[in-house]
Structure formats: C-alpha cells, structure tokens
Amino acid sequence: MSDTQEEKQSESLLFYLQHNRGFDFTGYKRPSLIRRVSKRMQMVNIESFADYIDYLEVHPEEFPQLFNTILINVTSFFRDPPAWDYLAEEIIPRILRDKKESEPIRVWTAGCASGEEAYTIAMVLAEVMGIEAFRQRVKVYASDVDEEALNLARQASYTAKDLELVDTKLRDKYFEPINGRYTFRIDLRRTVIFGRHDLVQDAPISRLDLLICRNTIMYFNAETQGRILARFHFALNGNGYLFLGRAELLLTHSNLFTPTDLKYRIFAKVPEVNMRDRLLAIPPRGDNKLNIPPPNRLPELAFEASSLARILVDSNGNLAFADQKARLLFTLNPKDIGRPLQDLEISYRPVELRSLIEAAYAERRTVTLTSAERRFANGEVQYLDVIATPLYDDGNNPLGVSISFPDVTSYTTLQQDLQRSKEEVQTVSEELQSANEELETTNEELQSSNEELQTTNEELQSTNEELETMNEELQSTNEELQTLNDELRQRTDELNHANAFLQSTVAGLHVGAVVVNQNLNVLSWNHRAEDLWGLRADEVQGRSLLNLDIGLPVERLRGVIRPCLSGEAEYQEVALDATNRRGKVIKCRITCTPLLTHNGQRHGVILLMEEEEP
C-alpha cells in the first residue's frame, strides 16, 4: 500500500471516530496518533485502517480499548520536585499577596489523568495557606477526557509505590492508611472537583489563579496548541500563572504568556492580547464562521458533559437525543436520532424500555429499574440502573421521557459477593460491614454527580462571559482577519518560491550535499548523497550523522564539523578513504562550511562530499 493510500485510510478512520462516537482527534499530532492506533491494530491482528473500521463496526466493545490506547495517562505525585518547590516558595505567595483574605483561590489542573497532580497542588496550597484557610478558600478543578482515569482519581486511593516521591511527613499528614493503601483526607478531598473536559472542544474553566497542564498540549499539533493556549489565557485572571511540563515551551506564544521561570516552565499571563488570539479561545461548533456556539447548543453541551449515559424519547416514541456515553454504550450513531425507539435494539436490550416509559407516563413520576443485566459476547456482564423520568411543559402536557443508565456493575457485583458471604457466615458484624460499604458507594456516586454538575456550570459560565466580550469587537475583528489573510497569502507564496529555489539548488548539485544542525542531526540529504552511500533522505532525516553506517568513517568528521560550529573556522576540508554503496573503495573529499541564519548565528553546517578521480 502506498503512503498516500495509507494516509487517506487513516483520515477515514479519524472521520469515522468523530462522526460515529463523537471523539475528535483531528487536532492531535498525526505521527504519534497514528502510531498509537497502529499499536492497537497490531494487538487485534489487523494490518490496514480500512479493515480496522470494519472491525469496529462489528465489535463495538473495541472502542473503549482503542481510546484507552490513544489517551495515554502518565503522571505522579510531585513530578519534577524542584519545579513544585519553586511553585510553593515563589508563585503561591505571589497569588496570595494579590488576593484579599476572604477571596477564593481557583486552580485548574487540565489533563489530570488519575489525579496525582490535583492532590499534589492541594497539598502544596494547604502547606502554604494552612489547612483551615485551604478548606474555606480553595477550589481545585481537575479534568481529563478519559472517564476510567477520572474514576480512579475520584477514589483518591494510592499504593505505597505511588507515593514514593511524597515526603513522609506530607504522606502522614494528608493520607490515611486503609487496607494497605493510602487515601487522601476526606475533609480536604471535597475541595478537589473532577469532571470530564475536552481541551479542544469544551469551553475553559474561568477566573483562575493557577492553571496546571503538564505534558499534555505537546500531543497536539501547532494549530490546536494555539487554540488551547488562547483558551488558557482567557481562563486565567489578570495576574494568573500557567504551569507546564518540562517537555513544553511557549516560545511562539509570547503574546499570550511571558516566562516567570523558563527552567521550571512557569508563565505569567500577558494582560492585553489582540482580537485574533481571543477568538481562538471559543470552542469550534458547526459551520459558524467565527466558531461561536449558538445559545441552543448549551442544553446539548450540558447533556454531553454528564457522567451518565442518557437518552431522550419524545412523546411520539422517537429517539430525540443520545449523549456521547449512551452512543458508545449502546452502539448508537447520529442516523438513529429521530427513528422510532421500537426499531432500535436499545428498546428491548438490556430491558424493555417501552413498558418502563408507559409506567412513567401513567404514574407521572420517575420510575427506576435497578441492576438490569447486560451480557456481552465475550462473557462479561454489566449491570445498569434504568431511570425513566417523564418531562412536561408548562401546561403539564407530556413532552417525552428522559432515560439514564447509571453503570452499577461494581456496586451490583459487590452486593452479590456480600450476599454470598452472608450465606456462609451469618454474623452481625458482617451485616454492619456490608451496610457501611453500600453507604460509601452511594456517597461516592453523589460526590461524582455533584462534581460533574459544578464542572458543567463553570464551562457554561465561561462561554457566556467570552461571548459577551466578543460581541462588542466582531466588526473590527473581521477587518483584522481579512488583512491577516492577505498577509499570510503573500508570505505563503514567498515561502513556496524560496523552498522551491532551495530544493532545486540542493538537488542540482553534482556532489553529495548533507546539511546537519548543531546536534549533528541530518536536516537535508540530496540525491547525489543517496547515490554515494545508498541511503534515502527519509531514512536519515533527523538521525545523527555520526551514527550512520554508510561506508564513510563519519566519526572522523567530528573534528571537521566542530570548528565550523564553534566559529573557530569558516571552512574545513578533509579527504577520507571510504566505500561507496557499490562496494568500491574511493577517496572522498569533504568540505565543511557553517550554515548561518539571517542574523549570522550558526545553525549547523553544510557538508559537500565528492569522489576524487584516481
């Protein structure tokens, strides 16, 4: 299969995921994204992207496995300890100095994975402020797109190995040992709110004093990074700070953030930005040219942000809406919206929904069916509660029914295990233990629901604030965008001409031409170099010249290249014995000159390789 065909098939797969499951990965860097998808394809023994699309259609249970492979969750407590020390000693005190004693402190950790960094910043703030002030003033919002990771984060329970980087005093102060694990203090746990949030599509949480997003935006392409950073700029207060990971820099976004300490990747918000950057902060929806979500999208956004699978059935018995989790859980696609419920598999599996809907209408109240069993082809069993709530207009006329499907598999399985234990050992103490476990599960579900609602409210409020600000400046922005488009078009033409000229110049040389950067990694490799040494340009691109096995003693080039890179010499020349790609022993003359930027800085060197006549 050609590279062009493979690229088209990979794009078709991304389009399929977006339109059938609502996951938009178009903003991710293509090489790393395709590498992770290919890894999952190898695990199920599929070679082509087209065959994988067919596999997904036949095996809907494959979607969660694919998404877990794509959404890598790597984190730890106090990752890069010096950066956290600087944050505690310098940044947090600045934030507190700019606040009145009664004002709240708002922190958002985006891409929180399993929650370690959310609890890390909670401990840092509690140490600086004091526990009582922390409880009264601080809210830590933690978000991710991976629901499984969020469920782990909400439990706030970690192993001793997970806490290796946590000082023993902090561990004893903020964690309670329970059944061989360490659980974050429940009185402080209430200040940390977890919720699902997509950095590419969802509105940011606003009025923040500190935003932590470490080693997350590096997975996105440059355009998507620009949109995310513009939303981060809007989310922060005027004197807010952005804390990134070691692998991330903002050198191309100095108009949004200025470094407070570049070594630790901590940046301060630039208060004033131009209109173009502010437009990037609004999440794209539909075909709206300015990417502004219309007001009637807000109820749908609220539904999508819910942690429960939920559908709406109108008064005529047609499927009116299904949120993202319901579409994934019951293999629904956008074409099913508007179809009669009775024509869909969900109407009778896992339970008969039509009788449940009739009962809700007849009794005019919420009707609940608990622990409905759902079996999969691989033998796994899932248990769902089915909750049908009738909806009425102001005249008390029925509009439809909202049906939600809370996943109670863990809860139901636990109940079954407890029941078997009760049958084996009938003691009062075991009955009390069972009641306590059920109560803890219920409290966790209530806490999760409350956190989801708070996160959704923050997103809606943030979007409204941005829309009110942008409406006053739309006219001037249109003119600015038109001017910018003209400039970009002109610069693109100039760049295309320059690139074509450079490529034709290098290709036209009758000697081998190799360009390397300051790290001696290959930037350019012309056809004559391919003919000499037998390696194509795509095989050496980005690799160290000194690590190439090409029949030339490349290690001896180090003494030729270094003087040109350091500025000690403007020209170096050497003749080396070598073996070309045909196995012929030749004398190769190599000249080295520095590669200079427009301001005279040495960016690398140019090596010209020519076979000497015997």
- Over residues 246-259, the pLDDT tens digits come to 756 664 556 788 88
Give the tens place of pLDDT for each residue, 504-541.
777 667 889 999 999 999 999 998 999 899 899 899 99
Give percent above pLDDT 90 in the chain: 22
Could you tell me if residue 286 is inside a domain? Answer: no
CB 135 within 8 A of CB 191: yes
What distance in Å separates the CA atoms of residue 242 and residue 35, rounded to the nearest whole number? 30
- Say which residue, 468 or 2, is predicted with more confidence: 468
**How large a percentage of the chain has pLDDT more than 70?**
87
CA atoms of 281 and 465, how far apart (whole Å) = 12
183 and 256: one domain? yes
Asked if 89 and 161 sit in the same domain, the reply is yes
Backbone region of residue 238 per phi and psi (left: phi > 0; alpha: psi in -120 to 50; beta: other values): alpha
- CA 69, 72, 76, 78: dihedral to nearest 10 degrees? 180
Residue length of the chain = 614
Domain that residue 422 falls in? 408-438
Contact status, residue 237 vs residue 209, Cβ threshold 8 Å: yes
Give the tens place of pLDDT for each residue, 87-108. Answer: 999 999 999 998 888 889 999 9
Task: Domain count for the chain, please give it.
Answer: 5
Has residue 138 got a pLDDT over 60? yes
Exposure string (b/e) for 497-535, b if CB count within 10 Å is 16 or more? Answer: eeeeeeeeebeeeebbbbbbeeebbbbbbbebbbebbeb
Q: Enumerate residues 6+ apart whose C-beta is below 8 A from 152.
A: 114, 115
Question: Is 290 inside a domain boundary?
Answer: no
In which order are the strands placed within the sheet that holds 367-375?
A: 319-322, 309-314, 398-405, 381-392, 367-375
Asked whether residue 323 falls in the same domain as residue 186, the answer is no
Q: What DSSP state is assigned to residue 91? A: I
- Least confident piece of the model among 144-148, 189-193, 370-374, 546-550: 144-148
Which of these, 396, 411, 350, lies nearest to 376 by C-alpha position? 350
Alpha-carbon gap, residue 455 to 437, rounded angstroms: 27
The CATH number of whichever domain residue 12 belongs to comes to: 1.10.155
Residue 397: inside a domain:
yes
Same domain, residue pair 94 and 27: no
* Same-domain status, 93 and 218: yes
Residue range 346-353: mean pLDDT, rounded: 87
Task: Examine the domain organization and report whether 243 and 275 are in the same domain.
Answer: yes
Do 49 and 93 reside in the same domain of the chain? no
pLDDT exceeds cutoff 70 at 494: yes
**Is 478 part of any domain?**
no
Between helix 428-471 and helix 222-235 the angle, nearest 10°, is 100
Strand-pairing partners, residue 407, are: 384
Angle at 122 between CA 121 and CA 127, to 5 degrees: 95
DSSP 522: E
Answer for the pair 401, 312: CB distance below 8 angstroms, yes or no. yes
User: Tens digit of pLDDT for each residue in 596-611?
Assistant: 887 888 889 999 999 8
Domain containing residue 370: CATH number: 3.30.450.20
Burial degree of 613 (CB within 10 A; 0-12, 13-18, 19+): exposed
Is residue 276 over pLDDT 50? no
Question: Does 434 share its domain with 399?
Answer: no
d(CA 43, CA 36): 11
Confidence label for 594 from pLDDT (cuts 50, 70 and 90)? very high
Q: pLDDT at residue 291 above 50?
A: no
Whether residues 15 and 145 fall in one domain: no
Q: Tell me, what DSSP letter sits at residue 552?
A: S
Q: What is the DSSP letter of 343?
A: G
Identity of the amino acid at 463: T
Q: How confident is the model at residue 242 (pLDDT cuts 50, 70, 90)?
A: very high
Mean pLDDT (the chain, rounded) = 82
pLDDT at 289 over 70: no
- Co-location of 260 and 337 in the same domain: no
**Residue 485 belongs to a domain:** no
Determine contact, residues 569/563, Cβ cutoff 8 Å: yes
pLDDT of residue 302: 56
Give me the pLDDT at residue 15, please: 78
> Would residue 599 count as lying in a domain?
yes
The rounded distance, in Å, linking the Cα atoms of 128 and 117 is 17
What's the rounded mean pLDDT across residues 348-374? 88
pLDDT band of residue 286 (cuts 50, 70, 90) is: very low
Q: What is the pLDDT of residue 60?
A: 77
CATH number at residue 251: 3.40.50.150
Q: Are residues 105 and 13 in the same domain?
A: no
Q: Which pLDDT score is estimated for 72?
A: 55
Please identify, among 381, 405, 429, the residue that sits at the C-terminal boundary of a domain: 405
Question: Does pLDDT of 403 surpass 80?
Answer: yes
Q: Write down the residue that tokens 């978000």 correspond to.
A: 143
Evaluate whether residue 382 is within a structural domain: yes
In a domain, 476, yes or no: no
On whether the CB atoms of residues 129 and 137 are closer than 8 A, the answer is yes
Place of tokens 């830590």: 140
Tell me which of 383, 405, 427 is where a domain ends: 405
| Per-residue pLDDT at 307 | 66
H helices of 364-473, in order, are 409-424, 428-471
Model confidence at 140, pLDDT cuts 50, 70, 90, reads very high
The top-scoring range by mean pLDDT among 323-332, 446-455, 546-555 is: 546-555
Residue 52 to residue 37: CA distance in whole angstroms: 10
Amino acid 296: pLDDT: 44
Helices 30-43 & 3-21, crossing angle to 10 degrees?
80
Quick check: pTM over 0.75? no
* Ramachandran region, residue 511 (left: φ > 0; alpha: ψ -120 to 50; beta: rest): beta
**DSSP-assigned states of every residue in 488-516:** HHHHHHHHHHHHHHHHHHHHH-SSEEEEE
Dihedral angle, C-alpha 349, 350, 353, 355, nearest 10 °: 100
- 193 and 261 assigned to the same domain: yes
